[in-house]
Amino acid sequence: MKSLQLLGIVGFAASMTGCVPEWARENETGIFMEIASIQGFAGGAEGGTASAILMSDVSTDGTAFNDDASVLVNIYRKNPSVEATSPLEHVRLESYQVRYFRTDGHSVEGVDVPHRITGPLNSVRLHTPTDTGEIEAEAIITVVRHQAKREPPLINLVGGTRSNPGNFLFPGQAMITTVAEITIYARQVTTGEPLSATGNFQVTFADFGD
């Protein structure tokens, strides 16, 4: 009888675990982090114009330029009734990952989409949020690296949208539309407990020309 009762308790606990949101199970801090917005910059943040959809040019007359994105990260408390703040709870953004996939299911890296990339963040620190609202910070990341435009599948698109007798691409093959999944990784400064947040935005690759 006791064994059956113990089994019932274990089963109940397991069912309750399934009801708990994933972010609550993985994030043991008292702070929740999210990506509020993503803006892409074709040709880099310094010379590009911000856009919610990034149009990445795979060919720039022999010179490849990286494409950047501005990622707005918010943090706020899980318990909004907490009023006291402490520098010990500061959050530091550490790194990011960009993974590409396509909605048609063709998402093999290096064949259908570019390889995923990772990179460090320049020690962006967010102060502790209070009950008055959230704290936000901007992180500039590279979404498409220079070398990705020299590798398949992006290099295969060169000349695809312009008149080129040597191009044998079928209609629709001269452009690749992907979803860039951006994940920001952070850590609470004192405790070292990790946080992460993920957001998506559209990146379309083609040889747009001038």
H, E, C per residue of 28-71: CCCEEEEEEEEEEECCCCCCCCEECCEEEECCCCCCCCCEEEEE
17 vs 88 pLDDT, higher one: 88
What's the CA gap between 90 and 68, in Å, rounded?
26
What's the CA gap between 116 and 100, in Å, rounded?
6
What pLDDT sits at residue 178? 96
- Find the largest Cα–Cα distance for the chain: 81
What pLDDT sits at residue 108? 96
What pLDDT sits at residue 165? 44
Query: Has residue 129 got a pLDDT over 60?
Result: yes
- Mean pLDDT over 192-205 rounds to 94
pLDDT tier at 128, thresholds 50, 70, 90:
confident
The domain ranges of the chain are 29-206
Query: Has residue 39 got a pLDDT over 80?
Result: yes
